[in-house]
Chain A
């Protein structure tokens, strides 16, 4: 009986479910990527050592203050409320008619960015001081040290936390239904509303959410493994064994 209902609903509405799931995935993927980039930039800026004097000192202080305000504000308020404020606020107070999908991506990105900024900052702080010193000792400046030595390690270390953010985004895009973004929750609600059948569609939505989050988790785990490289290394062989006779002649002459 239950399964029958699910199958009927699926066969009648599968396109809508699919479209909703695609929209959810689209917003959360783009939002996570943008958020990740925002987080990297903000995290890096917030860990720049403040010089003892010069014009950079006050400038950095002001920037740092603004960035902490950003992080604290977006971490400290619900995304659902932010969505309402940003989407309706931009229309009513500023007279800007925002595209609701652009607004959705903007909200998710900026929210993820706030969380990622702290994750990145933590990642940078956790890198051994010796790594910075070794990089400085071979003549790298702060920027080169960050790009070639520190950030690659930070990114590897924060991947699990990034996966967390990604999964949270897939689930939390459902709050965007308040600004009528037709993501999975919104479409499910429409299906339930038009058929007056409630729990089977939501059960289906539940499964789809789980499939999406589980797949993303697995993919990220694979990426982590790939970044770690092989468990063992290959000894570079004795070069004589691979040298061809003609190489030997050339070497001797």
Chain B
């Protein structure tokens, strides 16, 4: 299958702190990849480096054969190909639900208002928020906000969806509704890269699980292997601490 994103020798340092070290990693079309690991292991930074919210310190990021760290490359056009979902939702406070989903389409992709609305409604239906188009973000619950944020990202019709701990800021009750939506998206064949602490979700949905620790990829493979029969000592240690909670 076609490789969409390929990362070679990626590194990132904040001052003298090495957050990512020599990461090699790739995502194929239609794949659902879950990145797990403890806090501070660099998994969020990896995701943020991929859409250049953090500037990598070294290495290359190849998107469909093009080096996007090349200075001539149009960052903004590249970012429209990646849909990002944040831990803190980050809905635009000055727009209602529909506005959140169409502003990017209209201003960045230059779609007409009618077309943008049509696309937005399609994805708002997918996440089950089509009834709330008039609501402002402050009037929604956390789970609802996150579903709108997912619809906003989908409305740009990206190649890859990036999820940065999408359920970590939610009440336990609301985690379910967001995970359900993400599961549906996975079944639709979307390419997804998910940083998560939800091991059950990773086991059920992921095609591949990546375990990160201290800025390096320790182990990666199908979920049965990484989550149930890990080869590395460090992975086993991490899982024994987290899986006990299930």
Q: Footprint of B on A, CB under 8 Å? A: 128, 130-131, 133-141, 144, 148-149, 152-153, 156, 229, 232-236
CA distance A229 to B103 in the complex (A): 18
Q: List 30 A-B contacts (CB under 8 A).
A: A130-B88, A131-B90, A131-B93, A133-B84, A133-B86, A133-B90, A134-B84, A134-B90, A134-B91, A134-B149, A136-B53, A137-B51, A137-B86, A137-B153, A138-B79, A138-B104, A138-B152, A139-B80, A139-B104, A139-B156, A140-B104, A140-B107, A141-B76, A148-B103, A149-B103, A153-B93, A156-B94, A233-B136, A233-B139, A235-B131
Asked if B216 lies at the interface with its beta carbon under 8 angstroms from chain A, I say no
Q: Contact string, B80-119, partner A, CB cutoff 8 A, digits 1/0?
A: 1011101011111110100000011001110000000000
Given contacts A134-B91, A139-B104, whether A235 and B132 have CB atoms under 8 Å apart is yes
Which residues of chain B are within 8 angstroms of A130 by Cβ–Cβ distance? 86, 88-90
- By the criterion CB–CB under 8 Å, are A137 and B79 in contact? yes
CA distance A233 to B137 in the complex (A): 11
Asked if B1 lies at the interface with its beta carbon under 8 angstroms from chain A, I say no
CA distance A233 to B131 in the complex (A): 10
- By the criterion CB–CB under 8 Å, are A140 and B76 in contact? yes
Which residues of chain B are within 8 angstroms of A131 by Cβ–Cβ distance? 90, 92-93
Return A121 CB to nearest CB of chain B, in Å.
19
Which residues of chain B are within 8 angstroms of A136 by Cβ–Cβ distance? 53, 79
Return A135 CB to nearest CB of chain B, in Å.
7
Which residues of chain A are within 8 angstroms of B92 by Cβ–Cβ distance? 131, 134-135, 149
- By the criterion CB–CB under 8 Å, are B94 and A137 in contact? no
Range class of the B interface residue count: 35 or more
Which residues of chain B are within 8 angstroms of A234 by Cβ–Cβ distance? 134
Which residues of chain B are within 8 angstroms of A149 by Cβ–Cβ distance? 92, 94, 103
CA distance A7 to B108 in the complex (A): 63
Asked if B135 lies at the interface with its beta carbon under 8 angstroms from chain A, I say yes
CA distance A136 to B77 in the complex (A): 11
Which residues of chain B are within 8 angstroms of A144 by Cβ–Cβ distance? 107-108
Which residues of chain B are within 8 angstroms of A128 by Cβ–Cβ distance? 90
Q: Which of chain A's residues has its CB closest to B133's CB?
A: A236
Which residues of chain A are within 8 angstroms of B79 by Cβ–Cβ distance? 136-139
Return A141 CB to nearest CB of chain B, in Å.
5
Which residues of chain A are within 8 angstroms of B86 by Cβ–Cβ distance? 130, 133-134, 137
- By the criterion CB–CB under 8 Å, are B96 and A233 in contact? yes
Partner of A138, one of B88, B93, B108, B134: B108
Q: Which of chain A's residues has its CB closest to B78's CB?
A: A139
Asked if B130 lies at the interface with its beta carbon under 8 angstroms from chain A, I say yes
Partner of B53, one of A137, A139, A152, A153: A137
CA distance A139 to B52 in the complex (A): 11
Return B150 CB to nearest CB of chain A, in Å.
12
Given contacts A152-B94, A233-B134, A236-B134, whether A138 and B156 have CB atoms under 8 Å apart is yes
Which residues of chain B are within 8 angstroms of A137 by Cβ–Cβ distance? 51, 53, 79, 82, 84, 86, 153
- By the criterion CB–CB under 8 Å, are A148 and B139 in contact? no
Please indicate which of the listed interface residues A138, A140, A232 has the most CB atoms of chain B within 10 Å of its own CB: A138
Q: Which of chain A's residues has its CB closest to B106's CB?
A: A148
CA distance A134 to B164 in the complex (A): 12
Q: Which of chain B's residues has its CB closest to A139's CB?
A: B80
Which residues of chain A are within 8 angstroms of B139 by Cβ–Cβ distance? 232-233
Which residues of chain B are within 8 angstroms of A153 by Cβ–Cβ distance? 93-94
Partner of A139, one of B88, B108, B132, B135: B108
Q: Contact string, B130-173, partner A, CB cutoff 8 A, digits 1/0?
A: 11111110010000000001001100100000000000000000
**Further 18 A-B residue pairs, CB within 8 A, beyond A130-B90, A236-B132:** A130-B86, A130-B89, A133-B84, A133-B90, A134-B90, A134-B149, A136-B53, A136-B79, A137-B51, A138-B153, A139-B80, A139-B108, A140-B76, A149-B94, A152-B94, A156-B94, A229-B96, A232-B139
